[in-house]
Structure 1
């Protein structure tokens, strides 16, 4: 049964901004979301039970309690919610998961910020960041002063399914697309997402020094998940150019 199971009833949210962190290219969305949860000491607010999510239980170091692989964390002072996912979502289940979460967006008046990596080989230039939107989401993009995409493309995986759901329902939402390493976890691209995309849109100030100082440690910690994503790239949330005539 699809539901969002709230664990902390004392958390009060007005019209929160949600940052989505499903694994994808460079794991940029997951790295950025995990970092924001830790940096803002966000509270484990709810467990996500959506049809289509893998039926697995997650446990943590030095903690015997198990939980769901997809969870919501909240910071009521900043009216901020972060979706943390420890598993990829199968492409056949992406629409189910998107519909499940969209119902919760409706109930809570949530403004979603979807995150996606655009595979590009690394060079000396900093990764480019682009903004896309549905509904009146362009107003939020203007706060971040982001460039529009330089070429046509599409967003796939659960992130693409949620953007498609937002488009169909006329929901205000934004997508942030950042150039990312197509093979390895990319903390540099995640840092760009936070500083130049999420923070201006959500009105937050997130320290990101740790993403640079601990880049090697972060890559090592995320590498096993990255390898799983490479073995099943169709499950990734990712942006990619449209290689066809329009």
Structure 2
């Protein structure tokens, strides 16, 4: 049976939830993981929604198993983070979104949904835009977050979550950041934390580590481009294992 099992000894009052499902540039995943680690958030509960793979997750230096999709809490900040180690398939997105939205509504949780907008990368700070469900427009106005400059849609499980939130008139915000379509993009994750999550939740998060990750990934991309060029010049077999960088 679909449900979310939470720890009874953690007390929250009208919390905000940051959703961190894998997507374009892994923006949501990187941002959520960074919040959990940097704020030293407490494990809050397991998400047992239909559509999630029945797998167990373990982390290095620990024998403890955890569900693939979990909630973490910061009681002092009234903050929740939805952390996921697995993607939600498009076929299962509707059931998953219905399960999550029902719990959000029942517990007076305001969600922040994170999504990457595939964009050609340049040296500028990735732009962050906001869309809203329910009374979320007021939250965006107060935080000074502008709407997207072009029409578009949010697909996948995050799109399903936004759809369900809108259908139930749940107050929520969707944050959209310009992100790399092929590679993990910690630079975009940093932008969405600094220019989206921070003004909405009023939480200070050190993002310097994400800057270092962005530089490492940029260097890996340059090495990949060089080796791909070599492959095109006659060493095509060398390009095959480079999928690890994508």
Shorter-chain TM-score range: 0.7 to 0.9
For residues 214 and 92 of structure 1, the distance between their equivalents in structure 2, rounded to whole angstroms, comes to 32
2:189 is matched with 190
Describe the SS at the equivalent of 1:23.
coil
Q: TM-score, normalised by structure 2?
A: 0.86
Describe the SS at the equivalent of 2:18.
strand
For residues 173 and 41 of structure 2, the distance between their equivalents in structure 1, rounded to whole angstroms, comes to 22
For residues 90 and 218 of structure 2, the distance between their equivalents in structure 1, rounded to whole angstroms, comes to 25
**Which deviates the most, 169-178 or 122-131?**
122-131
Unpaired stretches in structure 2, ≥5 consecutive residues: 220-242
1:10 is matched with 9
Q: Which runs of 4+ in 1 moved over 6 A?
A: none
Unpaired stretches in structure 1, ≥5 consecutive residues: 221-226, 231-246
For residues 142 and 92 of structure 1, the distance between their equivalents in structure 2, rounded to whole angstroms, comes to 34
Task: Specify whether residues 57 and 219 from structure 1 end up closer, same or farther in structure 2 by C-alpha distance, changes over 3 A only.
Answer: farther
Q: How many residues align?
A: 222
RMSD: 1.7
For residues 174 and 3 of structure 2, the distance between their equivalents in structure 1, rounded to whole angstroms, comes to 24
The structure with the larger Rg is: 2
Structure scoring higher RCO (CA < 8 A, sep ≥ 6) equals: 1
Greater share of strand residues, 1 or 2? 1
Describe the SS at the equivalent of 1:204.
coil
Shift of 1:215: 3.0
Q: TM-score, normalised by structure 1?
A: 0.86
2:134 is matched with 135
Question: 1:117-128 alignment to 2 at 5 Å?
Answer: 117-128=116-127
For residues 144 and 30 of structure 1, the distance between their equivalents in structure 2, rounded to whole angstroms, comes to 23
